[in-house]
């Protein structure tokens, strides 16, 4: 088995600018949204997180897996999890798996929000669900949804007969009453220990600077020595739109205090004095100076692949981590890996096998996964976020609105990823749909790894009496169909049996490094001198002369060619140049882009 482990910070991502000693993601309080199907849980989740993370529709049972996100309220950060509609006594496979996923959320949550529809009468399943929630002895808040208007808000009082003290009429669609609900949740969950006092910081972690009298009332992030990035100033912003009137004055007052505090200050790294407290927060050794910071910002260089970032402790980020994108170069805290493919090829099974959990619902029914499900995995000092997406089908094959939206969300998560795992079904071979999905990844500039799943079903576990499949023949057929993915490595595995999972992680780590590799201009010029462009199969009318070329960006690697004519590269010349670059510099698993910049007319003439 590979030596990897599931990250304890599973559902969420690290944010830049977090103070050492501040609560990390795994320590953030978790609030679970639960309820019966089609009561507005996903709408409430999207409203609070100010996103479209969960798919919303009129069809009951759209949400099936657990969906995590973060939100800020009253200067504090929380985690929020959206669950599928709970029907405890339903014997069918999908509802039972949804209930199992919701039970995991109930177990790990610090507070529970039960969502009910004000327009429906209370039934026996509602009382059963309330008894289940109260049994956990956790704060329970009843959000009576779809309560637009005074008449509906008054009708929400009838739901007190369930025995829940905290009843809040809300309208997730219009954002009404959300502020009162979030205020109550914030008051019920104690503040993290790192924010209470200097003595309550977690053990073996750097202690944050104590708030001075003039800093009282500000966010803990706004203290001396902190990096005042734009992301930090966004903390405390309104959770929903203009419909939330409650708390807006306080937010404007907080923003005013922050603006006054920032006037006349230089928050650049060079301008900050190296106080005793700042030296205590810095790593061992000499304190970094402006020259060292500039050198760190210019990495990687000289054509070498970036060094993998060592896994930081749970309460501290690397002090020199650069999180601002500059031509695609940045020190990534994690690599996003999208698992894509046709329905029912084993994507969710692969996610569960890689993470060692039952994170995603697995069933033989095609189209089980709808929302994207993500999980963090630590492997050899690198951190990967695997995102299980819904099966991508052609438009003519999707009928329900939830299916159409799931395909759209899968395309979005693919475009937001760094690496794509294209999963194929070995029992069905390579289909035209696989070629189409692979084209989506290729055209979007994602690095690609081809995973042939269910390989045991055509080799050792074959039951149809046919001889075992030959790996070389299968790969040769695969390459003939997916010609444009010639750079992508191929892995044969069985997610169900858990074979060759270590190679998947090693390939992802290597491909992610190749994706961010940079080649210097000097190396490219020496490369041009060695290449014989006369061998390129290009018509004479389409031939160009390259004066020099340089790598303009990474992720994906992008090269700018300065030529004598401003014309589009012939496909044969582009393929020839790409093969020569791969032979000299690698770039395994990632596409290479070219841009042509022709010489201006009249340049070089007297």
pLDDT value of position 201: 41
Burial class (CB in 10 A: 0-12, 13-18, 19+), 133: buried
**Residue of 24, 29, 78 whose CA lies nearest to 201:** 24
Instruction: Look up tokens 């050198």; give the residue.
Output: 295
Would you state the structure tokens that stand for residue 314, as one six-digit string? 């749970």
In angstroms, the Cα distances linking 601 to 19, 561, 569, 570, 604 are 54, 17, 19, 21, 9
- The Cα 371–Cα 407 span in angstroms is 9
**pLDDT tens digit string along 402-433?**
678 788 888 989 999 999 999 999 999 999 99
**Quick one: fold of 521-598?**
GMP Synthetase; Chain A, domain 3 (3.30.300)
Between 461 and 310, the more confident residue is 461
**pLDDT tens digit string along 506-517?**
999 999 999 999
At 44, the pLDDT band (50, 70, 90 cuts) reads very high
At 24, the pLDDT band (50, 70, 90 cuts) reads very low
**491, β-bridge pairs:** 451
**Residue of 519, 496, 497, 495 whose CA lies nearest to 590:** 519
pLDDT value of position 600: 66
Longest dimension (CA), the chain: 92
Pure H helices in 34-143:
41-49, 93-108, 124-134
Bond prior to 280 in cis (omega within 30° of 0): no
pTM for this structure?
Answer: 0.67
In angstroms, the Cα distances linking 137 to 132, 133, 249, 318, 507 are 10, 8, 35, 38, 45
Instruction: Look up tokens 């799931």; give the residue.
Output: 406
pLDDT value of position 325: 42
Q: What is the mean pLDDT of the chain?
A: 76
- The Cα 81–Cα 75 span in angstroms is 20
Least confident of 66-75, 123-132, 219-228: 219-228
Using the predicted structure, report yes or no on whether residue 250 has a pLDDT greater than 80. no
Do residues 262 and 229 make contact, with C-beta atoms less than 8 angstroms apart?
no
Using the predicted structure, report yes or no on whether residue 455 has a pLDDT greater than 70. yes
Q: What residues does each domain of the chain span? A: 29-188, 335-515, 521-598
- The Cα 81–Cα 113 span in angstroms is 10
- The Cα 51–Cα 450 span in angstroms is 31
**pLDDT tens digit string along 525-581?**
999 999 998 888 888 888 889 999 999 999 999 999 999 988 889 999 999 999 999
Would you state the structure tokens that stand for residue 350, as one six-digit string? 């692969």
Using the predicted structure, report yes or no on whether residue 65 has a pLDDT greater than 70. yes
Using the predicted structure, report yes or no on whether residue 239 has a pLDDT greater than 50. no
- Sign of the torsion angle spanned by Cα atoms 130, 135, 136, 140: positive
**387, β-bridge pairs:** 338, 374
Q: How do beta strands 166-169 and 140-145 pair?
A: parallel
Q: How do beta strands 140-145 and 558-563 pair?
A: unpaired
Would you state the structure tokens that stand for residue 97, as one six-digit string? 């798996």
Distance of CA 78 to the CA centre of its chain: 17
Would you state the structure tokens that stand for residue 227, as one six-digit string? 């990096």
Percentage of residues in the chain with pLDDT exceeding 90? 44
**Residue of 27, 602, 56, 604 whose CA lies nearest to 313:** 27
Using the predicted structure, report yes or no on whether residue 585 has a pLDDT greater than 60. yes
Do residues 358 and 311 make contact, with C-beta atoms less than 8 angstroms apart?
no
Between 187 and 264, the more confident residue is 187
Instruction: Look up tokens 């950060």; give the residue.
Output: 77
- The Cα 33–Cα 111 span in angstroms is 9
pLDDT value of position 90: 67
- The Cα 565–Cα 462 span in angstroms is 57
pLDDT value of position 542: 85
**Residue of 447, 469, 430 whose CA lies nearest to 345:** 430
Using the predicted structure, report yes or no on whether residue 473 has a pLDDT greater than 60. yes
Residue range 138-159: mean pLDDT, rounded: 90
- The Cα 28–Cα 110 span in angstroms is 10
CATH class, 335-515 region: alpha beta
- The Cα 290–Cα 298 span in angstroms is 12
Q: What is the DSSP string of 166-192?
A: EEEE-BTTTTBSHHHHHHHHHHHSPPP
Rg of the chain over all Cα atoms, to the nearest angstrom: 27
- The Cα 449–Cα 422 span in angstroms is 6
Backbone angles phi, psi at 188, to 5 degrees: -80, -25
Backbone angles phi, psi at 428, to 5 degrees: -110, -10
Q: Say if 29-188 and 521-598 have the same CATH topology.
A: no
Do residues 490 and 511 make contact, with C-beta atoms less than 8 angstroms apart?
no
pLDDT value of position 320: 38
- The Cα 70–Cα 9 span in angstroms is 12
Between 225 and 395, the more confident residue is 395
Instruction: Look up tokens 């700018």; give the residue.
Output: 560
Do residues 504 and 489 make contact, with C-beta atoms less than 8 angstroms apart?
no
Backbone angles phi, psi at 27, to 5 degrees: -95, -5
At 601, the pLDDT band (50, 70, 90 cuts) reads low
Do residues 53 and 407 make contact, with C-beta atoms less than 8 angstroms apart?
no
Residues 6+ apart with CB under 8 A from 526: none
- The Cα 430–Cα 425 span in angstroms is 8
pLDDT value of position 331: 57
pLDDT value of position 208: 36
At 361, the pLDDT band (50, 70, 90 cuts) reads confident
Architecture of the 29-188 domain: 3-Layer(aba) Sandwich (3.40)
**pLDDT tens digit string along 306-331?**
444 344 444 344 443 444 343 445 55
């Amino acid at each position: 088995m590979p030596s990897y482990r599931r990250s304890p910070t599973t559902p969420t991502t690290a944010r830049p600018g977090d103070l050492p000693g501040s609560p990390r993601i795994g320590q953030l309080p978790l609030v679970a949204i639960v309820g019966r199907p089609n009561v507005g849980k996903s709408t409430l989740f999207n409203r609070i997180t100010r996103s479209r993370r969960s798919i919303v529709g009129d069809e009951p049972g759209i949400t099936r897996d657990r969906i995590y996100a973060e939100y800020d309220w009253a200067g504090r950060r929380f985690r929020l999890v959206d669950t599928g509609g709970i029907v405890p006594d339903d014997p069918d496979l999908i509802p039972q798996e949804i209930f199992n996923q919701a039970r995991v959320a109930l177990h790990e949550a610090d507070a529970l929000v039960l969502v009910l529809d004000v327009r429906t009468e209370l039934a026996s399943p509602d009382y059963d669900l309330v008894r289940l929630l109260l049994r956990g002895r956790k704060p329970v808040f009843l959000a009576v949804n779809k309560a637009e208007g005074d008449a509906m808000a008054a009708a929400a009082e009838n739901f007190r007969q369930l025995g829940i003290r905290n009843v809040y009429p809300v309208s997730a669609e219009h954002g009404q009453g959300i502020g009162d609900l979030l205020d109550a949740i914030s008051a019920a969950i104690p503040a993290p220990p790192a924010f209470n006092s200097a003595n309550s910081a977690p053990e073996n972690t750097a202690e944050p600077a104590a708030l001075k009298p003039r800093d009282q009332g500000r966010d803990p992030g706004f203290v001396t020595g902190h990096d005042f990035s734009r992301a930090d100033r966004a903390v405390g912003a309104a959770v929903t739109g203009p419909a939330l009137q409650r708390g807006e004055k306080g937010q404007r007052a907080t923003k005013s205090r922050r603006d006054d505090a920032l006037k006349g200050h230089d928050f650049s790294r060079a301008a900050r004095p190296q106080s005793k407290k700042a030296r205590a927060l810095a790593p061992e050794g000499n304190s970094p100076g402006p020259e060292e910071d500039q050198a760190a910002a210019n990495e990687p260089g000289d054509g070498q692949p970036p060094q993998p970032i060592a896994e930081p402790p749970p309460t501290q980020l690397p002090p020199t981590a650069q999180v601002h994108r500059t031509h695609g170069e940045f020190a990534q805290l994690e690599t996003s890996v999208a698992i894509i493919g046709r329905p029912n090829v084993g994507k969710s099974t692969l996610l569960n096998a890689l993470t060692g959990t039952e994170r995603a619902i697995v069933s033989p029914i095609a189209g089980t996964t709808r929302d994207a499900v993500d999980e963090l995995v630590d492997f050899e000092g690198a951190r990967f976020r695997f995102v299980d997406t819904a099966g991508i089908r052609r438009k003519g094959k999707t009928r329900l609105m939830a299916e159409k939206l799931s395909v759209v969300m899968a395309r979005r998560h693919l475009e937001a990823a760094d690496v794509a795992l294209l999963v194929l079904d070995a029992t069905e071979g390579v289909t035209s749909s696989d070629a189409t999905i692979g084209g989506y990844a290729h055209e979007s500039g994602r690095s690609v790894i081809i995973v042939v799943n269910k390989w045991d079903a055509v080799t050792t576990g074959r039951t149809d009496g046919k001889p075992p499949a030959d790996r070389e023949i299968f790969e040769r057929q695969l390459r003939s169909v997916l010609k444009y993915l010639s750079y992508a490595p191929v892995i044969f595995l069985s997610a169900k049996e858990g074979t060759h999972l270590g190679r998947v992680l090693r390939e992802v780590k290597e491909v992610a490094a190749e994706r961010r590799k940079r080649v210097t201009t000097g190396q490219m010029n020496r490369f041009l001198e060695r290449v014989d462009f006369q061998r390129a199969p290009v018509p004479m009318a389409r031939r160009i002369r390259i004066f020099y070329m340089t790598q303009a960006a990474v992720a994906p690697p992008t090269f700018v060619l300065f030529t004598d004519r401003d014309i589009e590269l012939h496909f044969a010349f582009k393929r020839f140049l790409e093969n020569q670059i791969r032979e000299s510099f690698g770039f395994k698993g990632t596409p290479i882009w070219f841009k042509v910049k022709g010489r201006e007319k009249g340049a070089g003439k007297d």
